[in-house]
Amino acid sequence: MIRAGIIGGSGYTGGELLRLLLAHPQVEVAQVTSRSHLGEYVYQVHPNLRKQTQLKFIDPEQVTPVDVLFLALPHGQAQHKIDHYASLAERIVDLSADFRLRSPEAYRRWYGSEHAAPAWLGRFVYGLPELHRVELRSARYVSGVGCNATASNLALLPLVQAGLLDESAQVVIEIKVGSSESGAEGNPGSHHPERSGVIRTFSAFGHRHTAEVIQEMGLHNVLLTMTSVDLVRGALATVHATLKPGVALKDLWKAYRAAASENPFLRVVREQRGIYRVPEPKILAGSNYADLGFDLDEASRHVVSICAIDNLMKGASGSAVQCMNLMLGLDETLGLEFPGLHPI
Amino acid sequence: MIRAGIIGGSGYTGGELLRLLLAHPQVEVAQVTSRSHLGEYVYQVHPNLRKQTQLKFIDPEQVTPVDVLFLALPHGQAQHKIDHYASLAERIVDLSADFRLRSPEAYRRWYGSEHAAPAWLGRFVYGLPELHRVELRSARYVSGVGCNATASNLALLPLVQAGLLDESAQVVIEIKVGSSESGAEGNPGSHHPERSGVIRTFSAFGHRHTAEVIQEMGLHNVLLTMTSVDLVRGALATVHATLKPGVALKDLWKAYRAAASENPFLRVVREQRGIYRVPEPKILAGSNYADLGFDLDEASRHVVSICAIDNLMKGASGSAVQCMNLMLGLDETLGLEFPGLHPI
Amino acid sequence: MIRAGIIGGSGYTGGELLRLLLAHPQVEVAQVTSRSHLGEYVYQVHPNLRKQTQLKFIDPEQVTPVDVLFLALPHGQAQHKIDHYASLAERIVDLSADFRLRSPEAYRRWYGSEHAAPAWLGRFVYGLPELHRVELRSARYVSGVGCNATASNLALLPLVQAGLLDESAQVVIEIKVGSSESGAEGNPGSHHPERSGVIRTFSAFGHRHTAEVIQEMGLHNVLLTMTSVDLVRGALATVHATLKPGVALKDLWKAYRAAASENPFLRVVREQRGIYRVPEPKILAGSNYADLGFDLDEASRHVVSICAIDNLMKGASGSAVQCMNLMLGLDETLGLEFPGLHPI
Amino acid sequence: MIRAGIIGGSGYTGGELLRLLLAHPQVEVAQVTSRSHLGEYVYQVHPNLRKQTQLKFIDPEQVTPVDVLFLALPHGQAQHKIDHYASLAERIVDLSADFRLRSPEAYRRWYGSEHAAPAWLGRFVYGLPELHRVELRSARYVSGVGCNATASNLALLPLVQAGLLDESAQVVIEIKVGSSESGAEGNPGSHHPERSGVIRTFSAFGHRHTAEVIQEMGLHNVLLTMTSVDLVRGALATVHATLKPGVALKDLWKAYRAAASENPFLRVVREQRGIYRVPEPKILAGSNYADLGFDLDEASRHVVSICAIDNLMKGASGSAVQCMNLMLGLDETLGLEFPGLHPI
């Protein structure tokens, strides 16, 4: 059995990691930390884990060496202790934003401060298996992924990999997200009477996840617009882009089918009847699938590409476990079999 | 025009008072206070009031005399300054729990501390017009009402006024409430990912509003059980009680129709077809109506009596304005005409 | 008093018309029809109207002449009987899509069939007061507005009226809508377990309301993408467009403030603090306001313009009543004073 | 591998059975039927199963013998063909209400018609393992369970098994349910604009599941009151009952802990801190757990006992699979390991 540790286990991504790793057939969760819930049973914070484990949260200082260490801290913390963490485990998956960008300049531009451990940026592999499967198999340090970046990148992946995009044209990505995206800590805007029923375009431009789309897709003219809606788990990216001249619907079918065929967690959803004709995040709660859809206005070469994910799974902890599987030479899908619920 | 002031205008009941009084044909809102939002436009806190008023929140110390003063402070504050407030206005409506109970002993028992101004308890009239219309017409000091107490009292009113209840039997009142009931300040349990979709029986016994049901209905064997559900505005009380022998369905019809006929904001909802056959709070958002329904199991003499309200209107600010109208000799329904929305 | 009639009063726009007209100080609702609810009290279908009216639904054949006739029928019906309706009232407001487009060709293209009364198309004024206030004052026949078209047109209005748009660039409008938009008749996709919590991009291209944006804004390169979210009332349009070179943020402020100043139901929402910094439809339920916001990426000249409305009010029945007021020489805002609720 | 068939696989319980059996390590789903979706892939109806199976719905007439047959038909159908079904499989689990009651008289009383196969009633075991584990191990025919009956029976189980109830006193059970309870077919009241945000007490008395509580708990003075709230999956039963004199809180602790210790899917939730102090159905979506809580008013001997379940799992398909496991001599929890999600 592989011994895993989790630094920062009381947040939503930490809780989701716990759920996945406790059920993983090849992993034993050795330690999980939380300063604010020190000494509590993990099921007191994550009530779904009651009767699943008797683990308690320990202090981060008490962590002893493990085979793989997951860092699920708030952004900006892991970079200050990465040497220490690297002394505790041969393999690290950091779910925060600290090691997602390859260049210190990009980090400074999007996060507004100097990176505290710029030498480490080059040692990390960006943790999206659909983009870096081969490197991940031999990686020791893997970054997490931004959930909105992941929905965007996976919506773009079939178009970019098949070379169908007119890359000179602007790409506008409209992202709709649920309330779990902002984490387990409340704020005035997340108070239920204020957050319930919202359609709140909280960021028209400049969302930090834009940097991950630029880096991973090699696109430069990209805008992300973020809108909160009434849902707990889930994100939907609707990409508006322009195709090269001459690209037809059948070319899109081919590109999307190839993506779904090469990646166990990608699916194409484009039905002519029934209720579920397009990708929808609601049925993905708890699942690691990313559902892809598309439509084309041939006259204007305007393509709409859609990706639905569970932001806590494919957009965070699910991809992290998938990366761990790859690093450890295990079946990529191990422990990630839950298909989601219908209805929900 | 009557000049009104509001002490504590940034909470939900304060905001609802503002909405009602700004549109009231006989009232001018002279002053509204908020320490935490001092100097802000009221529409920055209550966004529905944008373009309705240019009022700003002032410091409570700056309040000058008005004709009627509404106190919408957190529980426990008004009792410490009631003499001061009484020097500012001839008429006061206090929406907090401070002056709802007539006896200092009851206050101590249910609120766990000594009342700071016990001599004032007897000067206040309990602010539910359906129970105290005549006294309210000559009152100077009026208390607010607990929202759950109001749903309970109005569900019981037809049965009690017609003398149909077996008062020796226990009365169980199951109340389901929306998230606005706990006020504008968030807490960990009101964070949207945790509060969304709940069915959370947060209080099996001992809710403080029980005291108002005991006092106003003259019943002693009463239990309130509180359950939070996914809704912002609204409360539904389902009363389980026992009727005296021989009471038939037609006696219930007569009692409920009498209540609705005598009270402009009571309605009986008991339809045999359509979607809305029973009282439901959702269609009452913004309205001062209380909808009543009932059903009878003749064999066991078990009656179910139901009352739906908007907790911020009939359960708080709507009743407060209705009391003000009565105190001032105005038409009881003035400024309370909004009927609610369908669909919503 | 003006005597009004409503043809088709059991749907959502019909119900909202009833709510508005029953409370309108200058109007008496003389007749309201429904074939499917013939003989029922209107409050059995629209439960918010209980104790507001004793009107019953009558057969459309029984309608007698009135001063103003509102047609709230499903799309495609009014055009077949418009001569008959015109014989019943000097003034008509048709809320369906039948008379919104000025040209039979545009109607054929977007609705897929020949218009049954093409000669009437030129007699109708498009019923958005913010665009046609002067013509509406002397109009006899007024069309309704598409709710998504209205959110789009009002988001574009400040930019177009101030001449700030680069009209050669594509305009992408992402619209998020609540469930009341599809009307009172259910369908498999509107069943609560399937519709709850959705983020469902049901139309990437080709929504019929696009035709109203093209016609009213004089833009040709416009795409509407429609996404359903979990809300009952409300629509938010997020317009992505390109500005002419040199347009700065202060020019936008000026354009939006001018629009809000000239139109009683337009408001600008662009706050730096608080929860409600941008337009949100949830607080507009029942209100006729349209809230406008904007943001600019100067480097790319990309502007995001946002409009939030209640689709049943400003997007349908509220604008219809506003048009009626204008046609009758009344104050434009009469009967439309309800400001909406907070929280909700 | 055990070969399983499902008659009626397009409804919600059928879909949940499919999800569970497709992932079950000892079962192969051989056939699944649907008349209305004949020939469609099951993932077109249950979108969570896309990429999980290529099964298509077949006609019920085409079913060939299997090891275990699940009947997930609408109520009233299985009893007419039970002999035929028995010829197809040695073991049957019927999820409908047809074989839950042991006596034809009870069936007639609660369902209003004669049972079509009364001789079969005695051959079925009531399918709740917590009540009939031993009989289920040797059963060939197992009934489903009513979801509301299950929440009620499990809330009562610790009290009844420990002999703590005063059985002469009335038991009132207030049940709050989500929208999936009424099945996959919509109705006017399930249309999202009408169903969203409801607190709708649709049945004060006489719900058919009452019969299962009476039969299984041996109680006679029991009332079920049903209220719909805004949630898709989940049911919460709040039992109001009276204890025998002298029963103290520690006796309740002992009784509930015993129940949880003897039954792998029962848990006691009674915390003094944190957000999740009491049983809540939302975190049980997809899980087979039943969470139990309790509170006691010693003065009145009034006990409140609470049970939360996922109505489609412990209240239907989860219990059915658990019964199958017992019948087949497998580990009772096999295929039912999913613990639920947090947040959700």
Q: Which domain holds residue B155?
A: 147-311
* Cα A61 to Cα A84, C226, D21, distances in angstroms: 10, 50, 44
According to the model, what pLDDT value does residue C223 have?
A: 96
Domain presence at residue C238: yes
Mean pLDDT, rounded, of chain D: 97
> What band does B221 get if pLDDT is binned at 50, 70 and 90?
very high
Task: Report pLDDT digits (tens) over A29-58.
Answer: 999 999 999 999 999 999 999 999 999 999
Instruction: Cis check for the bond before B264: say yes or no (omega within 30 of 0).
Output: no
Residues D156 and D304 occupy one common structural domain: yes
A107 in any annotated domain: yes
Residue D168 lies in a domain: yes
On whether both B119 and B153 belong to a single domain, the answer is no
* C16: closest chain B residue by CA: B342
Residues D213, D109, single domain; the answer is no
Name the residue among A227, A231, A279 with its Cβ closest to that of C230. A231
Confidence of residue A1 (pLDDT cuts 50, 70, 90): very high
Residues of B carrying an active site annotation: 147
**How crowded is residue B264: how many other Cβ atoms within 10 Å of its Cβ?**
17
Q: Cα(A298)–Cα(A290) distance, rounded to whole angstroms?
A: 26
Nearest CA to D53 among D85, D29, D81, D36? Answer: D29
pLDDT digits (tens, 9 = 90+) for B208-218: 999 999 999 99
How many residues make up chain D in this entry? 344
Q: Closest CB to C190: pick one of D184, D191, D197.
A: D191
Residue showing tokens 């996959």: D184
Are residues C118 and C28 located together in one domain of the fold?
yes
- B269 contacts on C by Cβ (under 8 Å): 47, 50
Q: Tell me if D200 sits within 8 A of B278, measured CB to CB.
A: yes
Here the tokens at position D251 are 């006796």
- When pLDDT is averaged across residues D16-21 and rounded to a whole number, the result is 98
Mean model confidence pLDDT for chain A: 97
Residue-level pLDDT at A88 = 98
Determine, yes or no, domain membership for D138: no
Confidence class of residue C252 from pLDDT cuts 50, 70 and 90?
A: very high
Q: For D158-189, write each residue's pLDDT tens digit.
A: 999 999 999 999 999 999 999 999 999 999 99
* Per-residue pLDDT reduced to its tens digit, A110-151: 999 999 999 999 999 999 999 999 999 999 999 999 999 999
Residue C60 · residue C35 · CB < 8 Å: yes
Pairing of strands C222-229, C266-268: unpaired
Query: CA–CA distance from D303 to each of B93, B206, D238 (Å)?
Result: 38, 13, 10
pLDDT value at residue D309? 98
What confidence score (pLDDT) does residue B32 get?
98
Pick from D172, D193, D201: which is nearest to B343 by CB?
A: D193
Q: What is the pLDDT of residue D332?
A: 98
Are C69 and C89 in contact, with CB atoms under 8 Å apart? yes
D205-235 pLDDT, tens digit each = 999 999 999 999 999 899 999 999 999 999 9
Neighbours of chain A (3+ CB pairs under 8 A): B, C, D
Looking at the structure, tell me whether residues B69 and B202 fall in a common domain: no
Q: With bands split at pLDDT 50, 70 and 90, how would you rate the model's confidence at D67?
A: very high
Q: Does A230 touch chain B (CB under 8 A)?
A: yes
- Mean pLDDT for the stretch of residues A321-336: 98
Question: pTM of the entire structure?
Answer: 0.97
- Do D61 and D185 lie in one domain? The reply is no
Closest CA to B343 of A69, A177, D211, C180: C180
Which of chain A's residues have a Cβ under 8 Å away from the Cβ of B232? 192-193, 196-197
Average pLDDT over residues B251-266: 98
For D180, name the nearest residue in chain A, comparing CA atoms only: A343
Domain assignment of residue B329, yes or no? no
Cα A220 to Cα C220: distance, rounded to the nearest angstrom: 27
CATH of the domain at B12: 3.40.50.720
What percent of chain C is modeled with pLDDT above 90?
100
| A295 touches C: beta carbon within 8 Å | yes
Number of cross-chain residue pairs from B and C with Cβ atoms under 8 Å apart = 99
Q: Mutation test of the interface with chain B: which of D201, D239, D269, D277, choosing the one with the most B Cβ atoms within 10 A?
A: D201
Establish if B180 touches chain C: CB-CB under 8 angstroms: yes
Inter-chain residue contact D184 with C196, CB threshold 8 Å: no
Residue D302 and residue D192 share a domain: yes
CA dist B334 → B5, B25, C48 (Å): 18, 8, 18
Span B260-281, average pLDDT = 97
Among chain A residues, CA nearest to C232:
A197
Interface test with D, best of B175, B199, B202 (most D CBs within 10 A): B199
pLDDT at C218: 96
Rounded alpha-carbon distances, angstroms, from residue D76 to D81, D90, D114, D150, D316: 10, 22, 10, 20, 17
Over the stretch B83-97, which tens digit does the pLDDT of each residue have? 999 999 999 999 999
Do D223 and B302 form a contact (C-beta atoms < 8 A)?
Answer: yes
- How many helices (H) and strands (E) in chain A? 11, 13
B147's CB contacts (< 8 A; 6+ apart) are B177, B181, B209, B235, B309, B311, B312, B315, B316
Question: ipTM strictly over 0.90?
Answer: yes
Residues of C in contact with A277 (CB under 8 A): 202
Instruction: Pinpoint the alpha helices (H) of chain B.
Output: 12-22, 42-45, 82-88, 104-111, 118-121, 129-137, 147-161, 192-195, 210-217, 249-262, 318-327
* D269·A50 Cβ contact <8 A: yes
Query: pLDDT digit string (tens) for C70-118?
Result: 999 999 999 999 999 999 999 999 999 999 999 999 999 999 999 999 9
Question: Residue A267 and residue D50: Cβ atoms within 8 Å?
Answer: yes
* Per-residue confidence band for C27, with pLDDT thresholds at 50, 70 and 90: very high
The token pair at A64 is 């002893």
Q: Do both C93 and C216 map to the same domain?
A: no
Say whether residue C247 is in contact with chain B using an 8 A CB cutoff: no
Q: Report chain A residues whose CB lies below 8 A from the CB of B48.
A: none
CB distance from C190 to chain D under 8 Å?
Answer: yes
How many domains does chain A contain in total? Answer: 2
Give C-chain residues touching B285 at CB under 8 angstroms.
Answer: 285, 341, 344
pLDDT reported for residue B74:
95
Q: Which residue, A92, A109, A124, sits at the end of a domain?
A: A124
> Average pLDDT, stretch D108-125?
98
Check B282 against D198: CB less than 8 A apart: yes
**A320 Cα to chain B: minimum distance (Å):** 22
Query: Would D22 be classed as within a structural domain?
Result: yes
* Residue B188 forms contact with A (CB below 8 Å): yes
Q: Which residue of A has its CA nearest to C279?
A: A200
C77 and C186 fall within a common domain: no
Residues making up chain B, counted from first to last: 344
**For position B255, which CATH number holds?**
3.30.360.10
Across the range C287-292, mean pLDDT stands at: 98
One domain, residues C161 and C280: yes
CB atoms within 10 A of CB B161: 15
In sequence order, the 6+-apart residues with CB closer than 8 A to the CB of A30 are A3, A4, A5, A64, A66
d(CA D92, CA D65): 12
Alpha-carbon distance B72 to nearest alpha carbon in chain A (angstroms) = 19
Residues A160 and A273 in one domain: yes
Closest CA to C32 of C51, C8, C61: C8
Query: Which pLDDT belongs to residue C286?
Result: 98
Cβ–Cβ of D48/A232 closer than 8 Å?
A: no
Strands (E), A178-312: 199-203, 222-229, 235-242, 266-268, 290-297, 302-309
**Residue C258 touches partner D, C-beta closer than 8 Å:** no
* pLDDT for res A186: 93
Nearest Cα of chain C lies from the Cα of B162 at a distance, in angstroms, of: 23
Nearest to D247 by CA among D166, D321, D151, D331: D166
DSSP notation for D197-219:
T--EEEESS--TTHHHHHHHH--
In a domain, A89, yes or no: yes
| Distance (Å, whole) CA A105 – CA D307 | 55
CA distance A19 to A24: 9
Give, for B242, the enclosing helix (H) or strand (E).
Answer: strand B235-242
Amino acid of residue B186: G
Q: State the pLDDT at residue C73.
A: 97
* pLDDT value at residue C224: 97
Domain-embedded: residue C288: yes
Q: Distance (Å) from the C-alpha of residue D10 to the closest C-alpha of chain B?
A: 25
Q: What is the DSSP letter of C25?
A: T
Tokens matching residue B159: 């049965």
Identify whether residues D118 and D152 lie together within a single domain. Answer: no
Of A183, C196, B284, A308, which is closest to residue D282 (Cα–Cα)?
Answer: C196
d(CA D339, CA A23): 9
